A = this chain, B = another copy of it.
Amino acid sequence: MKIIIDCMGGDNAPAEMLKGAVAAKGELGGEYILVGHKEKLSACAAELGLSLDGFEILHAEDVVTMEDDAMAAAKTKKDSSMAVGLRALAEGAGDAIVSCGNTGALFSGATLIVKRAKGIHRAAIATVLPYDPPVLLLDSGANVVVTTEHLVEFAVMGASYYSKLFGVEDPKVGLLSNGTEETKGTPLCREAYERLTEAKETMGVNFVGNVEAGAVPFGACHVVVTDGFTGNILLKTVEGAGKLVMGRLKGMFYSSALTKLAALIMKKHLAGFKHSFDATEHGGSPILGISKPVIKAHGSSNAKAFKNAIRQAKTYAESGAIDHISQVMQSKEGQL
C-alpha cells in the first residue's frame, strides 16, 4: 500500500502534513510519496527535526491555492502538488491520495485526471458526521447542481462505502428534506423521492424516505443524500455549532476557581465530548465515484487530523468499495 500525500495544500501546509505523514508511517506502516516543492519540504522537515528517510519525494514546483478557480486549476496548474499527485495516482505510482487543498480543484482534478469509476456519472464528496451511529453525508460540497439520477448514484455509492467502512449490511439511506412526507421538498427532492423508491426495488437501496435535518444526529438513517449546496450548509452548520459549543463550554469552565475544579473533574469526559463533535476524528472525506481513492482532508487539518485522513485513505483503498460501487452501477445500468 503506497499513499500519495499532497504536502502543499491546506492552511497548515507543509508542516502539519509532514508531521501527519511521519506519524502515519510510524503507526500504520506502508509506503508514502510526499508531493511538494523539494527544497521547501526538506527545509520544513529540518526545522521540525523530522526525518524523511524512507519517504519518496516527488517534486512539484507549484501550489493550487484557495483562490484558484476550481475548474481551471487542475488544467492550468499542471505543476502544482495537487496535479502532480493526481497524475501519480492515475499512472499507478500509488494506491490513494490525500490532500487538504482547494476542494473544488481536487474534485475536478480527480474527475479529469484520475477519472470516474465505470458506471458512475457524477462523483460526490462523502463526509462522516461523528454521530452514534456515524452518518455519511453526500454530497457534502462538490456538486452545487445535481439531477435525480446523480442523487440515486450518491445513494448507491454512499450505502456501499458505509457498509464497507462500518460493517453495516444494508445501511439506511435517507433523502435530506424539509419534512418527512414525500410531498415535502423542492421539485428535485420530490422527483428524487420517487426515483429512490424505485431504486429500493431495482437496486436494493435501503431507502427510508425523507429525513429532516434535525433527525440526522439521532439515527434516522446511516447515509444522507443531498445536493452539494445543501450538504455544505448542513456540514458547515454542524461544524459551526461544534465550535460554538466548545467555545462556550470553555468560557463556562474557566469563569472561576470553583468552575475550574469542575473542569478538572470533567476533564476526561470533556475530551471525549470534544471528539464527538469533531468530524476530523473520522479522517477526511473520500470523493466517491472516482476510479481510485482520492481523500479530501479538511483545509485546516492539523497533524492528527491529517494522520486520520491517511488512515482513512488506507481503509478505503483496502475496502474494495470502489470495485463494489462500479459493479453495482454497471449491473444496474439502464435502470438509472
Contact = CB atoms under 8 A, between A and B. Distances in A.
B214 A236 contact: yes
A38 interface: no
A269 B218 CA distance: 26
A252 B233 contact: no
B241 A242 contact: yes
Copies of this chain per assembly: 2
A238 B249 CA distance: 17
A240 B213 contact: yes
B187 A214 contact: no
Q: Among the interface residues A178, A230, A272, which one has the most CB atoms of the partner chain B within 10 A?
A: A178
Interface in A277-302: 277
Contacts of A265: 258-259, 261-262
A55 interface: no
10 contacts: A213-B232, A214-B243, A230-B233, A237-B237, A252-B266, A252-B269, A252-B270, A252-B272, A261-B262, A262-B265
Interface of A: 131, 141, 144-145, 176-178, 185-187, 189, 212-218, 228-230, 232-245, 248-249, 252-253, 255, 258-259, 261-263, 265-266, 269-270, 272-273, 276-277
